[in-house]
Amino acid sequence: MLNKIDLNIVESEFFLKYQSWFSSSRIGYLLVFIAGAILPLAFSPVNFYLIALLSPAVLLFSFLFVTPQRAAWLGWWFGMGFFGVGVSWGFVAIYVFGLSSVFVSAVLTFIGISLMATFIALQGYVSVLFIRKFNIENKIITLLIVFPLFWLLLEWFRGWFLTGFPWISLGYSQTGSVLSGYAAVLGVYGISWLTALSSSLLLVAFLFKNKKSIFVLVGVMAIWLGGYFLSLVEWTEATGEPLKVSLVQGNVEQINKWDPNHFEKRKQRYLSLTREHWDSDLILWPENSLTVFHHQLKESLLKPLAKEAKKNNTGIILGLPVLDLETKEYFSSLMAINNSVKDSSQIQFYHKSHLVPFGEYVPLESLFRGLITFFDLPMSGFTPGKYDQKLLTAAGQKIAPTICYEDAFGEDLIRFLPEATLLMNASNNAWYGDSFAPHQHLQISQMRALETGRDMMRVTTNGVSALIDYKGNIVSLSPQFKAHVVTGLVQPRSGSTPYVRRGNLLILLLVLFGLVGSVVFSRVT
């Protein structure tokens, strides 16, 4: 691809040494696969966020030497390494808890990873189509524009296409870096773009062997300093007094969670842990902590619990399924018992609106239902709740609710803001065992707190449960695989961040103008 080597930019021997690796040798596939496989280490629980600068640079470097078709394969192998390690927990969910065979679990996991890797393959193809139109120096300039923009665009598309899978977007890796300061303005996708842009700039600084490298490095420093100064901005303000909150982590085994023979034991565990913390203003239980329909528990459990909570001046939000007796549809729901209303029977519901495909509902049900054991799980027939539901009220606060996977969709959450003063996520992450998934999900919740300028209360079945402040810092954290109650203070807040007001609009406009500008540039150069 690079026919002429400008020695003022790079050493020709250096390029020639590696050109054959990426342009024709299988070694190139191995190198990008390894680069992708180490990228999940930038995310929680390892949190070595600098890897998110180095790993994409290897992929981008490989694109310098190849045709669009070859770049697509390089991108696919990078994606297989990235998602193969990063979302390997999918196999655990399907095999261990979905009761499928090793073969079926491996095949389904491979298909899912391959589909996600295709997004990075597409990025490689279109990036090189742009890059190869320029001479050497303009190719370097184009890399700075095209590669980060297509990374951003395809991440956003992955988070939307077929209901979306926005897991381990590159921006999540930066919750512990100064780039997190951009979250309140550009959201997670904006941080993904800035991370990829920083990676591109560092590669260019490496390729240039003259004073130009200094200017490029200054650009990287400017991006990161900008994040630091933005992190000092107080976009929201405290309102009212802090609340004492308790998150009840019951540590219920997923394998028998829906077994009615174990229900009484689970119920008593949550009740006993709750009664030890009646001095809290608000108590939260995780997603489907009760696995019996609301109408079946209303008289025997929920009304007495509401009276007990009101007596102790404590609000409760708990997870349970709700059946519509008329339509026979059932929902994965949160029920709020509000201690601030006069009538203790007044309760609120939030029905989960963004369901997990195949886990909570089966697309093309007539085709897939009965085909594989995993598709016949007892909780795989939920109906999505309406998008325009009201937020929950408890302990005198308006709370933006999300159930499990929903908080991976930042633009969905902001529909509750700026009215909400607190965020909550109730999750059943026992599906994923001792894998990366619970830690990655915690990092997602940190990003939602950063984007909205609100404290986040995250309660899970068996860990990791946490209280997160409005700057994305973890204030209190539970151990995994133990019955535990996280207790601490949260501060209600008011006001709007730029992200709450605009969502992803600003960053999508950046993609549009950047790519249109690149096309125009390619035609006039």
Which residues are annotated as catalytic? Answer: 287, 352, 404
Q: Distances from the Cα of 81 to the Cαs of 36, 40, 192, 441, 481, in angstroms?
A: 5, 9, 19, 20, 29
- DSSP state, 356? P
Cα–Cα dist 327/57, whole Å: 53
Q: If you search the block for the tokens 């909205």, which residue do you land on?
A: 452
The DSSP secondary structure of 54-103, one letter per residue, reads HHHHHHHHHHTTS-HHHHHHHHHHHHHHHHHHHTTHHHHIIIIIT---HH
Cα–Cα dist 349/394, whole Å: 12
Q: If you search the block for the tokens 């065979």, which residue do you land on?
A: 101
Cα–Cα dist 79/33, whole Å: 7
H or E stretch covering 115? helix 102-131
Would you say 425 and 456 are in contact if contact means Cβ atoms under 8 Å apart?
yes
Cα–Cα dist 302/313, whole Å: 16
How many residues are there in the chain? 525
* Whole-angstrom Cα Rg for the chain: 25
Burial readout 381-407 (b: 16 or more C-beta within 10 A, e: otherwise): ebbbbeeebebbbbbbbbbbbbbbbbb
Query: Nearest 5°: CA angle at 498, between 497 and 502?
Result: 125
For residue 333, give the 3-state DSSP assignment.
strand
Query: Nearest 5°: CA angle at 262, between 257 and 267?
Result: 85
Q: Strand 282-284 vs strand 243-249: parallel, antiparallel, or unpaired?
A: parallel
Name the residue among 415, 497, 500, 491 with its Cα closest to residue 457: 491
- The residues, ordered by sequence, that sit 6+ positions from 122 with a Cβ below 8 Å of its Cβ are 72, 75, 154
Alpha-helical regions (H) of 358-436: 365-368, 410-413
